[in-house]
């Protein structure tokens, strides 16, 4: 607890960065280093049922170094997954009504923690996409006329992109199963939640990897002249989206603010159980000033769902009456000007 601009979010951000090696607030690692300083370090110990592992990240102008059990990791994909976290902040309400990029980032960050192969494939996809777009720009500017290299990049994009797309569909199907009963309970059984993966490729939902590859390849061939004209890859997972349907209506377009918040809350709570199923351990839950954004009913559902099950860090200026009634013996820390002081345990 603490007043605004005292450093509460910094603490949660450091836990998030320790888990994912990147911030949820900035894309630049330089922003994680205190002003006038040249480097920064985050470290912690992760205690699981069968292990106790030190983790650390070091940031400097030379980049970042990640260590697991004091051993430097050559690839971040080997580091991510040691510590699993789920962050719920006021901006996460934008998950439902925000831009498609918000939802793509959500699925990549969450599924990437649970599945190292997916994390690797999305990294590879972004690399190939960047290279392909650069070559399309060269073709657009008439700096080259050779499309053979474009064909090679297209083949690589189709191969990796199809695996990403199929994995996303599988993840969303499992997330839907976990979220539906939670959403129904919060809405007092009045609403039904459905998740739809919206892809720029035309194929049936129930399909296999070979079919996705074929459709992806054929679509890119049809779009090739347009892509060269625009200097950009026009179809693929980087253009896809997630649609949240409540009682047969797109909640982003037709839902009330309350329905949008219920949907976002149900998705976040569903992630907790899904991550436990996938990894065998519950994640750490980070609630960054989110209780003040939820009414008493949604606060109650949130706090009862995590009670005595998930290690949770909550930031707030003060604890609401609902939170004080529902959180069993919380450890309360006061944050002031970047300093953290533990209050005596409150009953």
Q: How far apart are CA 289 and CA 59, in angstroms?
A: 27
Determine the Cα–Cα distance for residues 8 and 334; give it in Å rounded to an integer.
9
Six token digits for residue 308: 């005595």
DSSP strand pairing (312-315 vs 284-288): parallel
- Measured CA to CA, the distance from residue 73 to residue 79 in angstroms comes to 7
7 assigned to a ligand binding site: yes
Q: CA 165 to CA 190: how far, in whole Å? A: 32
Give the closest residue to 65 by CA, choosing from 87, 86, 42.
42
Confirm whether residue 9 is marked as ligand binding: yes
Measured between alpha carbons, how far is 275 from 20 in angstroms, rounded to an integer? 15
Q: Around Cβ 293, how many Cβ atoms within 10 Å?
A: 17
Cβ(53)–Cβ(19) below 8 Å: no
Handedness of CA 162, 166, 169, 171 (dihedral sign): negative
CA angle 28–32–35, rounded 5-degree value: 110
52-60, strands of its sheet edge to edge? 39-47, 52-60, 63-68, 71-72
Binding site annotation covers 3? yes
Closest to 306 in 3D by CA, of 316, 298, 295:
298
Residue 5, annotated as binding a ligand:
yes
What sign for the dihedral angle of Cα 54, 60, 64, 65? Answer: negative
Phi, psi torsion values for 334, nearest 5 degrees:
-105, 130
> Both tokens of residue 320?
């609401």
Residues annotated in a binding site for ATP: 2-9
The binding site consists of 2-9
């Amino acid at each position: 607890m603490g007043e605004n601009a005292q450093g509460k979010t910094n603490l949660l951000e450091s836990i998030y960065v320790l888990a994912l090696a990147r911030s949820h607030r900035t894309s630049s690692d330089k922003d994680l280093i205190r002003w006038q300083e040249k480097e920064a370090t985050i470290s912690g110990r992760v205690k699981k049922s069968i292990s106790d592992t030190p983790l650390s990240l070091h940031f400097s102008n030379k980049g970042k170094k990640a260590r697991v059990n004091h051993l430097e990791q050559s690839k971040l994909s080997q580091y991510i997954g040691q510590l699993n976290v789920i962050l719920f902040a006021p901006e996460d309400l934008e998950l439902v009504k925000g831009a498609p990029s918000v939802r793509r980032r959500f699925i990549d960050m969450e599924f990437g923690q649970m599945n190292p192969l997916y994390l690797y494939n999305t990294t590879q996809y972004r690399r190939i996409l960047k290279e392909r777009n650069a070559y399309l720009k060269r073709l657009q500017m008439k700096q080259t006329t050779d499309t053979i290299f474009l064909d090679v990049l297209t083949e690589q994009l189709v191969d990796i992109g199809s695996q990403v797309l199929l994995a996303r569909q599988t993840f969303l199907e499992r997330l839907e199963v976990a979220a539906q009963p939670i959403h129904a309970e919060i809405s007092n059984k009045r609403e039904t939640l459905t998740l739809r993966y919206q892809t720029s490729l035309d194929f049936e939902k129930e399909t296999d990897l070979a079919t996705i590859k074929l459709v992806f390849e054929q679509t890119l061939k049809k779009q090739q002249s347009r892509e060269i004209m625009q200097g950009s890859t026009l179809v693929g997972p980087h253009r896809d989206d997630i649609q949240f349907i409540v009682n047969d209506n797109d909640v982003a377009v037709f839902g009330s603010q309350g329905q949008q918040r219920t949907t976002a809350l149900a998705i976040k709570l569903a992630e907790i159980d899904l991550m436990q199923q996938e990894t065998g351990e519950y994640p750490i839950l980070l609630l960054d000033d989110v209780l003040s954004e939820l009414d008493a009913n949604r606060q109650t559902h949130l706090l009862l769902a995590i009670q005595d099950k998930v290690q949770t860090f909550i930031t707030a200026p003060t604890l609401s009456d609902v939170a004080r009634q529902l959180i069993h013996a919380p450890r309360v820390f006061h944050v002031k000007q970047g300093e953290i002081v533990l209050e005596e345990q409150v009953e």
